Structure 1
């Protein structure tokens, strides 16, 4: 059982999908991928500080408790296949180990994050 309301996850999914659908959002190609998530996130969200969709998403995520932000990251990893649903506790542990205060930027800069979050919810039994 996740310790986060699935409706909040779905709201994050909606904001991420809307943000990433914009023509102005560009993901670096594989040859220029930075070595860490924070640097990658900065490249993707750079120049979008005035973007209302990104701001709404940041606010939604930043208002969550750190453990809830960790849950979002773990859901993404399960949905992406980095962890199996049976490895949920391990995904949470890794999330705690890697927690940073820029969770929103990391999530919004991950290509297909909305799909991964949906798949993570479904894998853990949370279907609409």
Structure 2
């Protein structure tokens, strides 16, 4: 892979924060965070800082790293296996219809697919001391 494991793990952590959010459920509630115990933090809204962080992170990667992320998702999803890695990366580089950040954010269960893709290469975001890195 032409992307550092720590970068993939950082994206998985960010994507897990984004993945737990749901659509706006009560746009005109009129309540404040003190009254509703800040439940609105789990709602997706325009200008969501987590989404912005993910976009900035992915857009800041070079072409090879972005292609590796897409290929890793495809391996995690079962579209390719690790023996077809070079083919998946090549196809990911040819994919120009949508910016990579848009493409990745549109994939349900992105963090799980990235994690599964890493697993195909016997890699993990769990640190060596037994703590969860993600």
TM interval, shorter chain, is 0.7 to 0.9
Q: CA shift at 1:99, angstroms? A: 3.6
The structure carrying a bigger helix percent of its residues is: 1
- Provide the TM-score with structure 2 as the length reference: 0.73
Q: CA shift at 1:125, angstroms? A: 2.3
Q: Identify the structure with bigger relative contact order (alpha carbons < 8 Å, sequence gap 6+).
A: 1
Residue of structure 1 equivalent to 2:3: 4
Larger Rg: 2
Structure 2 unaligned residues grouped into runs of 5+: 25-43, 127-134
Structure 1 unaligned residues grouped into runs of 5+: 26-46
Moved over 3 A (4+): none
Output aligned runs, 1:38-117, within 5 Å.
Answer: 48-99=45-96, 102-117=99-114
Query: How big is each residue's C-alpha offset from its partner over 1:61-104, in whole Å with a ceiling of 9 and x where there is no partner?
Result: 11100111000000000000000110001101110111456211
CA RMSD, 1 decimal = 1.7
